[in-house]
């Protein structure tokens, strides 16, 4: 009887195994033939991430920059951020997205897209996004597509297109005419941001094909805006009452709130750049937070050693520097890399702001170059040093013996600096010729709130 029972168990186990194998084969066959679909989880996360990136500009950057200027210019800064959010949203759907991420059949393909997607022509709500990263699925003809709607990818990237020219505001605050600022910003988005985004993030881009690593915008956003910042600051000239040192901010609580919102929104900026709700997003989220925290602590210590007291503005600036530098590396480095990046960027940016800027005498009003430009350069280069295959198996840096990656990062950095620097100078000069960019003596003395917008932020009784 026991033998019969053992035989029955054996046949039962064999049958179960065969059934399981048959089910697995059927499932694999179904998955291989089933059309790619929108993933609800990835889509839900990316909707949130897109909103978080928009929060970085409005109200995050607006309050951060607005608090740093004098009270007579705070509305001007808020208005600059507000109008960029509006005008670049239109520019992006009209031609910007197509130029940045479209494909071209001509010799221009590595440098700029065509206009096939102008005004998002032909893109339907059910269409899947192009797959510019490894997280993708295959169509029946072997084409790689993403897991989120194409329209959502467009919206997400549009938020990057908005905040990048907004960062430049910090360089020329308190002395630029509004109409000159508006014309320059639109031209810059069209002819500087879109090509560089195509180079680095489009499948056709020459830097993309070279293997440049920029997970969320170290080159495209921060180096790009940072070099534009120093070029415009020098071309515009110093504020007439600038004495070679920082002018005290009018509202430090606004600086703190703005920095906190930037830190919060940056989780969407970096963790969303993997375009999926997965482990890569979790890593990007964590290292973003750690780099910002370490940079904030380092800046506080430097403030303490240099000035005798840690300052709120200093710690906020340090946190932003840490966020900037981790941006290109967030999908390629782990915890130790994030901590190193946070310390290094804080030290270098502190030296730029506290010593180099006063020594050279340029008036980068709110340290857009000293934090975003320098921080972006550090982040891009350290990505080439600290990238590890433990995060993404296909990528590594100097720490794992891949010196080639550092060379590619240096080429991407230099190309961005040269193109954006020269292009910015040309477009800024053109804007000056067409409408004028420098505010007049009286306009600057009275304040841009009244002279450019006919409003004041505070009454005489505040």
What pLDDT score does 29 carry?
40
Whether residue 32 has pLDDT greater than 90: no
- At residue 240 the predicted structure's pLDDT band, cuts being 50, 70 and 90, is very high
| Domains of the chain, each with CATH number or no CATH | 53-453 (1.10.3430.10)
Helix (H, G, I), strand (E, B) or coil at 329: coil
- Distance of CA 209 to CAs 100, 128, 203, Å? 15, 23, 7
- At residue 18 the predicted structure's pLDDT band, cuts being 50, 70 and 90, is very low
Comparing CA positions, the residue from 112, 236, 249, 95 lying closest to residue 171 is 236
Q: Residues 431-449: pLDDT tens digits? A: 999 999 999 999 999 999 9
Q: Residues 34-61: pLDDT tens digits? A: 688 999 999 999 999 999 999 999 999 9
Comparing CA positions, the residue from 247, 235, 322 lying closest to residue 287 is 322
Q: Which segment of 24-28, 59-63, 321-325 scores lowest on mean pLDDT?
A: 24-28
What pLDDT score does 104 carry?
83
Cα separation, 225 vs 424, whole angstroms: 10
Cα separation, 253 vs 13, whole angstroms: 69
Whether residue 383 has pLDDT greater than 70: yes
Rounded to an integer, the average pLDDT of 231-252 is 94
Where in 62-196 does DSSP place strands (E)?
Answer: 128-130, 137-138, 144-149
What pLDDT score does 142 carry?
58
Whether residue 455 has pLDDT greater than 90: yes
Whether residue 428 has pLDDT greater than 80: yes
Cα separation, 139 vs 146, whole angstroms: 10
The single-letter DSSP state of residue 311 is: -
- At residue 133 the predicted structure's pLDDT band, cuts being 50, 70 and 90, is low
Whether pTM exceeds 0.85? yes
Q: Residues 185-230: pLDDT tens digits? A: 999 999 999 999 999 999 999 999 999 999 999 999 999 999 999 9
What pLDDT score does 26 carry?
45
Cα separation, 258 vs 253, whole angstroms: 9
């Amino acid at each position: 009887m026991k033998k019969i029972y053992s035989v029955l168990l054996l046949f039962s186990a064999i049958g179960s195994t065969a059934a399981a194998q048959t089910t697995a084969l059927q499932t694999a066959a179904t998955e291989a033939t089933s059309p790619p679909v929108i993933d609800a989880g990835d889509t839900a996360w990316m909707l949130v991430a897109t909103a978080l990136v928009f929060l970085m500009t409005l109200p995050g950057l607006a309050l951060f920059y607005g608090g740093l200027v004098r009270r007579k210019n705070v509305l001007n800064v808020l208005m600059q951020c507000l109008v960029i959010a509006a005008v670049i949203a239109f520019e992006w759907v009209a031609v910007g997205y197509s130029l940045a991420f479209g494909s071209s059949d001509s010799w221009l393909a590595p440098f700029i897209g065509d206009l096939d997607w102008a005004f998002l022509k032909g893109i339907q709500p059910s269409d899947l996004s192009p797959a510019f990263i490894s997280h993708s699925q295959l169509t029946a003809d072997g084409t790689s597509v993403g897991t989120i709607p194409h329209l959502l990818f467009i919206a997400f990237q549009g938020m990057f297109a908005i905040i990048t020219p907004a960062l430049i505001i910090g360089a020329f605050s308190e002395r630029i005419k509004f109409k000159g600022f508006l014309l320059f910003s639109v031209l810059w988005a069209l002819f500087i941001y879109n090509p560089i985004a195509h180079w680095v993030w489009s499948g056709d881009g020459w830097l993309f094909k070279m293997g440049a690593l920029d997970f969320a915008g170290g080159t495209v956003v921060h180096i790009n805006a940072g070099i534009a910042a120093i070029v415009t600051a020098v071309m515009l000239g110093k504020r007439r009452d600038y004495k070679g040192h920082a002018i005290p901010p009018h509202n430090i609580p606004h600086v703190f709130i703005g920095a906190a919102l930037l830190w919060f929104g940056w989780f969407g900026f970096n963790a969303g750049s993997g375009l999926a709700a997965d482990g890569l997003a979790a890593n990007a989220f964590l290292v973003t937070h750690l780099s910002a925290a370490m940079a904030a602590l380092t800046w506080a210590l430097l403030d303490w050693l240099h000035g005798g007291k840690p300052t709120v503005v200093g710690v906020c600036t340090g946190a932003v520097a840490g966020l900037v530098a981790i941006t290109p590396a967030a999908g390629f480095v782990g915890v130790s890399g994030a901590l190193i990046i946070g310390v290094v960027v804080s030290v270098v940016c502190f030296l730029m702001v506290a010593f180099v800027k006063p020594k050279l005498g340029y008036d980068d009003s709110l340290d857009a170059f000293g934090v975003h430009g320098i921080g972006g350069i550090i982040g891009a280069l350290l990505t080439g040093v600290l990238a590890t295959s433990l995060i993404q198996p296909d990528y590594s840096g100097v720490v794992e013996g891949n010196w080639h990656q550092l060379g590619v990062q240096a080429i991407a950095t230099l190309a961005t600096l040269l193109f954006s620097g020269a292009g910015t100078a040309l477009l800024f000069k053109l804007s000056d010729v067409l409408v004028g960019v420098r505010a007049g003596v009286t306009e600057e003395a009275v304040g841009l709130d009244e002279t450019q917008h006919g409003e004041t932020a505070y009454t005489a009784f505040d």
